[in-house]
Structure 1
């Protein structure tokens, strides 16, 4: 995919997948710390897929595939989506924005700040480091949106002060599904938690062709 479209813009999720491969490689002794630091810096500076591909070309992914062959998590069961190494642990938006979406791995605790900015956390295609994960969201004159797939157990514990912390989607999930706890503070801002399925791509194609 990367070699076919070298000039296509890289997404945040693709950068995080490459960073995860580098962290795995240094922990296994495949990279020195100096090599790891240099490559990780290049990952976060990369603008296109073509710039990312050489950084992990000589490294296996956790499953034995190269990073550029990584695909979305298996949808056949929740167990297949729990127990991977976390790929991103923080998100910061200061008069700007951050996004975590697509195939990424949610850590046991993810911390984020939106200060006069916005954050988008989408777990619908994500893996989970552990069955229970905690998202600590702080929205100060800004907003954070958390989207979970149907069937995930959600508990919202956050506090809103002259702001909103949406608790309408708290509730039990499917047996064996991940548990997502959303906590933190919304001050003159808002944290929105919603359950939403992924679009049906086949149906979307049918609509376009009809």
Structure 2
């Protein structure tokens, strides 16, 4: 019985197919796959319906020895503020490659000292809001050729931009923002040719929910104070 027959015939999700596609793009960039092999496997990836069909496509590539495991429940969102305990540890991803396609890193992951984003006729998104960091100083190296990249930062993180653009550019609008004590410093470097590297700052959904809850509680307390004041006035008039 082949190893494929041992795999559960579970349906693969779009995220599962995209993880396999990322492995194939890394293999192409490292010279492990020729372009015709890459294109053939990528086409089979997006046609695959089950884990068993995905497994052979990365079996001979590093860090790919089996089909992607079904996703576990998403970890709880990190708090919007406070950096204690979020610096240190081993990086979980060191590069993202988009060749006529796209990639995304978000949620709970560990940013390395140096992360490389490469896009050619494609785009990538790096979301740092819920990430841990291997070190207090990290470099994100962006190479964008007729493509784009976007980095999402939390509101309280330090940012420096040093990238060079030719018929393209790097977004400097988020530099100079006051940062929280202990927050990592991110430096964007690299090269954009007919492409662009953008930045933005956003709060996490958990932080926005917490703020909305706090605002609702303040409104409730204000209404209660007004009600009590009305009752006190009524009692004095009786």
TM over 0.5: yes
- The answer to whether the aligner puts 1:183 opposite 2:189 as a matched pair is yes
- The answer to whether the aligner puts 1:129 opposite 2:134 as a matched pair is yes
CA spacing shift, 1:117–1:69, aligned 2, 3 Å: closer
Q: 1:174 aligns with which of 160, 180, 199?
A: 180
CA contact (8 A) 1:150 1:195 kept: yes
Q: Secondary structure at the match of 2:63?
A: helix
Aligned CA-pair RMSD:
3.2
TM-score by length of 2: 0.59
Q: CA deviation at 1:91?
A: 0.6
CA contact (8 A) 1:83 1:129 kept: yes
Q: CA deviation at 1:198?
A: 1.6
- The answer to whether the aligner puts 1:71 opposite 2:75 as a matched pair is yes
Q: CA deviation at 1:52?
A: 3.8
Q: 2:13 aligns with which of 4, 9, 12?
A: 9
Equivalents in 2 of 1:40, 1:96: separation in Å? Answer: 21
Q: Counting helix residues as a fraction of each chain, which structure ranks higher?
A: 2
CA contact (8 A) 1:109 1:135 kept: yes
Structure 2 residue runs of 5 or longer lacking an equivalent are 1-9, 20-59, 214-238
CA contact (8 A) 1:138 1:184 kept: yes
Equivalents in 2 of 1:168, 1:188: separation in Å? Answer: 19
TM-score by length of 1: 0.66
Q: 1:193 aligns with which of 196, 199, 202?
A: 199
Instruction: Say how many residue pairs are matched.
Output: 161
CA spacing shift, 1:141–1:38, aligned 2, 3 Å: closer
Q: 2:64 aligns with which of 32, 37, 41?
A: 41
Question: What's the CA shift string for 1:78-101, capped at 9, x where partnerless?
Answer: 022111210000110000011111
Q: Secondary structure at the match of 1:40?
A: coil
Equivalents in 1 of 2:138, 2:181: separation in Å? Answer: 16
Q: 2:88 aligns with which of 48, 66, 83?
A: 83
Equivalents in 2 of 1:98, 1:38: separation in Å? Answer: 19
CA contact (8 A) 1:158 1:183 kept: yes
Question: What's the CA shift string for 1:61-92, capped at 9, x where partnerless?
Answer: xxxxxxx4772464262022111210000110
Q: 1:143 aligns with which of 145, 148, 153?
A: 148
- The answer to whether the aligner puts 1:92 opposite 2:97 as a matched pair is yes
Greater radius of gyration (CA): 2
CA contact (8 A) 1:73 1:81 kept: no
Aligned residue in 1 for 2:162: 157
